[in-house]
Structure 1
Amino acid sequence: MGKSTRNVKNSFITLSPSFFTHLLSVSPFSTPNKNPSPNLSLLFFLSLSILCTFSGICLLTFYPISRNSIPCSALSPSSPLSPFLLASLSSVLKDYSPNTRNYDEPDLSSSAMVPLPARGVAANPNISAEGRDFWKQPDDEGYRPCLDFSLGYRKASSRISKEKRKFLVVVVSGGLNQQRNQIIDAVVIARILEAALVVPVLQVNRIWGDESEFSDIFDLEHFKKTLQADVRIVSSLPSTHLVSKQSIENQIPYHVSPMWIRARFLHQLNEEGVLILKGLDSRLSKNLPLDLQKLRCKVAFHALRFASPIQDIGNRIAQRMWIEGPYIAVHLRLEKDVWVRTGCLTGLGDDYDRIIANERDSNPDFLTDKLNIAKSARRLAGLCPLTALEVARVLKGLGAPSNSRIYIAGGEPFGGKQAMQALMDEFPNIETKETLAREGELTPYMKRCSVLAAIDYIVSLSSDVFVPSHGGNMGRAMQGHRAYVGHRKYVKPNKRMMLPLLEDESVSEEEFRSGIKKLHKYSKGQPVLRNNKLDRDVLAYPVPECMCKR
């Protein structure tokens, strides 16, 4: 043998080749000597036992076990389960082996925010065939959550999750779902820069004046624990990194890549130890490496759980809707600021439109998206929210029974009851969080719009059918989250294609229904691959990066 020997090391023991040379020398397979030992059999079985033990240790050491991940194969139930169990990701992960995860880390199977189970209506004789078709849930095609990160990602995690020199501070703005998007990207950017993330700062919303902090809305300890294997998260900057004046970076182009992030900020972060970013909305590319896409899903669907008081009241209100049977959640965007921002007509008459026009003239920076387009052109381009009347017609066209129970998510409609009347005339069983809440339940949150939006989010997630009246962050978040927890039915109105049907008074009711159903034949929540259009948001289209087939 050579003078130097290589030691084979792992986290359990250290052995050298000389040890096996000795074992071979005493085994029955070695050349027998002239005076065999009477303990030869004992030595052989001892050596065989040690060799088997070593082989097992090597297998456990080098087999790529995914830390804090959800393997696809573990997410498909092998036998029929009750509806209640099927509604919970934890139930379909009972086969998830405890040997594959670190008990200091949370089990993702129990960390996801899941809805109440969908209500079956197929056996109800009082519902028409059209009604049964409306309530029918889409085929999930066997897709289940699948967040198994690569070996390279997991190896880097042991170093990144202990970072104590570099810190990223992020200031997020907007409403609840806009805040969620920016927090998700903040975690991903911290991972890209291999920096510790300070708990994101929520900027006071200038429209609603909501002064809620992160821990007022989200479960902070759950957030930290769920992501502890990915990014180190701290509540505040250490005193060693506090500076009297720190520049805030807010000039980030749209849809930048991880390479751009590193090239722009890594040197500065290494030099100063602190980086403060603001205005992250839509700044990070939708097309990221696979592990970073999975991290986005992990943050969105697992780490960003609402604070316990919010989750509790949201669950109570959802149960009050659910206990009465299947229900529709409609995110009705009729708030004053929506009409100001979109530059559209309210459909409530000249007096209301004049109020909106004056508000827009006073705040020209509120108007968003293609400023030079006329009001009529904006509507034809699908940039305007559906009115209550249009939502009613779409629901009827899709086959919703007139006695359907509808939960309205969203803020106070501009125009009050008048704005809602057309929908109430067609569907009288309408509820909101205000009508469902018991006396005093919502009182602590009446001036905290993000909390009220979180309650809407919880109740909408448990609905049997979800319909947004306008695009935006809530609609995209609900689309992806409902897909992730079982592909719950989601109908995205095709506003551009519907307008001829909505505005042509010569179209009969039967023709209208046929046209609406045809337009939305594939808009029912079935799995849609994100990579068919790479610029799609993985949080709205989690297949195939975050979900896979058995």
Structure 2
Amino acid sequence: MAKSKSLKNSIVTLNPHIFPQFLCLFSPKNHPRNPQLSFVPSMRVLFFFFTFLLATILCCVAMNPFLNTPSLSIFSQSASYSPLFLASLSSVFQDPTAADNNDAPVSLTTTAMVPLPPRSVAGTASEFWQQPDGEGYRPCLDFSLNYRKRSSKIAKEKMKFLVVLVSGGLFQIRNQIVDAVVIARILEAALVFPVLQGDESEEFSEIFDVEYFKKTLKADIRVVSSLPTTHLVSWQSLENQIPHNVPPFWLRAKFLKKLNEEGSLVLTGLDSKLSKNLPLDLQKLRCKVAFHALKFAKPIRDLGNRIARRMWIEGPYVAIPLILEKNLWLRTKEYNSIINKEPGFLNASEVARLLKELGAPKTARLYIANGEPFEDDEAILPLKAEFPNVVTKEMLARDGELDPYRNKTLILTAIDYIVSLSSDVFLPSFDGNMVRALQGHRAYVGHRKFITMWRDFNGQPETRGRRRDRDVIAYPVPECMCKH
């Protein structure tokens, strides 16, 4: 599919004849072919002074969109910058994956995925792009003294091992891995890398950075790549009879004796089985796994970040996950029955109407997130009629970049997730695991604007409270975020 024309306008074509003239300024000798290009030392000093001054001015101008609020003024001596904001700002000028170093210590001041900063816009559309203030909530994963004391023993466990089999879509898998870590902590067992089951052939190491996963959690549990030969188990002995909403004491009563006797335990069917209301330390552990330990594998991050930067460089944008099956977009009896069953589902026309009601300018750039390869724009024609600047990852990717992943839905979904995380506005057309994951993640990295039709929520901190159906991963306030 043809790439977005607007991308071409953002590329500055440099005159190649400028470079020889520029390089001669760094040489104290006369230019051998053109003496007029030679500079005396005093002229070189003057040149470098004005170059430095110009660079400083341009840097301030470039940073102004990110610092266009009183609390973030670059001239304010009392300004307070969160580590997440600084990391986000630095990612504009440097690819966050370029300096990966698995030997560096893990820091919980930033997340596993650092989004690009939101953009400020002047004029009539500024309200639409305006970000929530966050009410002072920032990540805080301070574990209790008792938790840290017990960690010294649990993190060295070499006799008991937990194996988990996970399946489903990317975010079902993510949720099961989060719960697997928490269950390993509850049972005080070492965790073997989760085994991915399903039609696709991806392994855990193809989707996530395994070394980073191990290193981030080394103070909480021991993570190993495989069972030791002394603990081989039969896959026929796996346990999948776990009811919904089980608390920690149920898991201990059910599995501790077997784990102590046999040394290993194989679990499957973990999806949404662990209680949403856990002790505070375990809630924080959930956030640590979801927002810090589960970093996508480097090839996925590299491509996702490249596509996100191509989108971001053109200005602010809206990310919209859409279900793009053609038969769902036609006004038929079958379609109406689907809508009646799924009240949170919006089609392209309804998304366009909602954007207009919210004050989105017609020039707003929209990124359509959909895990499946997208080759036909028939499903989004009603949206493009109102907002012409609609793009997908296929339009933003360059020749061959997506070819290795054509049949890898999990990886394609991960790329959409990375681009959506950096969007200025997130507007899902349905409710689901990806939407809830992005809702919580966008809150955790700075309360990025999040809009839905079925609940009045623009990104302002919304507490999880004590509602049993609310996951701390989607609502990290107040367990994982505190006022600073």
The TM-score range, normalised by the shorter chain, is: 0.7 to 0.9
Matched, 1:452 2:412: yes
Q: Deviation at 1:333?
A: 2.1
Aligned to 2:482: 548
Q: Which amino acid aligns with 1:134?
A: F
- Asked if the contact 1:105–1:228 (Cα under 8 Å) also holds between the matched residues in 2, the reply is no
1:335 touches 1:412 (CA, 8 Å); kept in 2? no
Asked whether 1:138 is paired with 2:132, we answer: yes
Q: 1:225-374 counterparts in 2 under 5 A?
A: 225-244=215-234, 246-335=236-325, 346-350=328-332, 353=334
Matched, 1:398 2:367: no
- Residues 274 and 139 (structure 1), Cα distance of their counterparts in 2 relative to 1, 3 Å cut: same
What is the CA–CA distance in structure 2 between the aligned matches of 1:234 and 1:486, rounded to whole Å? 33
- The letter for the 1-side match of 2:462 is V
Aligned mates of 1:419, 1:118 — CA distance in 2? 28
Give the Cα separation in 2 of the matches to 1:245 and 1:182: 19
**Alignment counterpart, residue 524 of structure 1, candidates 448, 458, 477:** 458
- Of 396, 400, 404, the match for 1:436: 396
Match of 1:427 in 2: 387
Q: Is the 2:89–2:116 contact (alpha carbons within 8 Å) kept by the matching residues of 1?
A: no
CA distance in 2, matches of 1:254, 1:239: 33
Displacement after TM superposition at 1:252 (Å): 1.0
Tell me how far 1:415 sits from its aligned partner: 10
Query: Contact 2:209/2:295 (CA < 8 Å) preserved in 1?
Result: yes
Instruction: Return the offset for 1:306.
Output: 0.6
Aligned to 1:223: 213
Q: Given that residues 490 and 523 in structure 1 are in contact (C-alpha distance below 8 angstroms), is that contact kept between their aligned partners in structure 2?
A: yes
Q: Please tell me whether the aligned partners of residues 490 and 524 of structure 1 are also in contact (alpha carbons under 8 angstroms).
A: yes
Partner of 1:192: 186
Shift of 1:420: 1.3
Displacement, 1:334? 2.8
How far apart are 1:425 and its partner, in Å? 0.8
Could you say if the C-alpha distance between residues 172 and 225 of structure 1 is closer, same or farther in structure 2, counting changes exceeding 3 Å?
Answer: same
What amino acid is aligned across from residue 330 of structure 2 in structure 1?
A: L
Query: Any idea what the Cα deviations from partners look like across 1:9-57, whole Å, max 9, x if unmatched?
Result: xxxxxxxxxxxxxxxxxxxxxxxxxxxxxxxxxxxxxxxxxxxxxxxxx
Number of aligned residue pairs: give it. 397
Give the conservation status (yes or no) of the 8 Å contact 1:87–1:116. no
How many angstroms apart in 2 are the aligned matches of 1:289 and 1:349? 48
Q: 2:166 aligns with which of 161, 164, 172?
A: 172
**Residue 537 of structure 1 aligns with which residue?**
471
Deviation string 1:421-448 (CA, Å, 9 cap, x unpaired) is 1111111101111100010111111111
Tell me, which stretches of 5 or more residues in structure 1 are unaligned? 1-76, 92-102, 337-344, 357-374, 495-519
**CA-CA distance at 1:395 after TM superposition:** 1.1
Aligned position for 1:463: 423
Shift of the alpha carbon at 1:84?
A: 10
Q: Tell me which of 433, 436, 457 is aligned to 1:473.
A: 433
Whether the 8 Å contact between 2:83 and 2:110 is mirrored in structure 1 is: no
CA contact (8 A) 1:84 1:117 kept: no
Aligned 8 A contact 2:329 2:348 in 1: no
* Runs (5+) with no aligned partner, structure 2: 1-75, 91-102
Q: Which digits, 9 at most, give the CA deviation of each residue in 1:77-108, with x for residues without a partner?
A: 984378997252798xxxxxxxxxxx985222
**Secondary structure in 2 matching 1:171:** strand
d(CA) in 2 for partners of 1:84 and 1:104? 17
**Deviation, structure 1 residue 453:** 0.6
Asked whether the 8 Å contact 1:89–1:109 carries over to 2, the reply is no
| 1:348 partner amino acid | L
Give the Å deviation of 1:410: 0.8
Residue of structure 1 equivalent to 2:119:
119
Amino acid at match of 2:87: S
Distance 1:113 1:239, change over 3 A: same
Q: CA deviation at 1:380?
A: 4.5
When residues 83 and 438 of structure 1 are mapped into structure 2, their CA distance, relative to the original with a 3 A threshold, is farther
Distance 1:453 1:162 in 2: 35
Letter of the 1:489 partner, please give it.
K
SS of corresponding position for 2:435: helix
Structure 1 CA distance, aligned partners of 2:120 and 2:298? 29
Give the structure with higher Rg (CA). Answer: 1
Deviation by residue 1:295-337 (Cα, 9 ceiling, x = unmatched):
000000000001111111111100001000000000112348x
Within 5 A, what are the aligned runs for 1:55-74? none
Which residue is equivalent to 2:151? 157
Distance in 2 of aligned mates of 1:302 and 1:415: 34
Identity of matched residues, %:
64
1:488 matches 2:448: yes
Tell me: CA distance 1:532–1:407, structure 2 relative to 1, closer, same or farther (3 Å).
same
Contact 1:89 1:112 in 2 (8 A): no
Aligned-partner Cα distance in 1 for 2:162–2:408: 27
Report the residue type matching 2:461 in the other structure. Answer: P
Q: Partner amino acid for 2:172?
A: Q
Contact 2:320 2:369 in 1 (8 A): yes
Ranges of 4+ aligned residues in structure 1 off by more than 6 Å: 81-85
Q: Tell me what 1:80 maps to.
A: 79
Aligned to 1:4: none
Give the letter aligned to residue 115 of structure 1: P
Letter of the 1:305 counterpart: K
- 2:8 is matched with none
When residues 413 and 469 of structure 1 are mapped into structure 2, their CA distance, relative to the original with a 3 A threshold, is farther
CA 295–486 in structure 1, closer or farther in 2 if over 3 Å, else same: same
- 1:202-229: per-residue Cα shift (whole Å, max 9, x none)? 112xxxx321111101000000000000
C-alpha separation in 2, matches of 1:442 and 1:414: 11
Q: Show the counterpart of 1:359.
A: none
Q: Supply the distance in 2 between the matched residues of 1:262 and 1:286 (Cα, whole angstroms).
A: 17
Q: Report the RMSD for the aligned CA atoms in angstroms.
A: 2.5
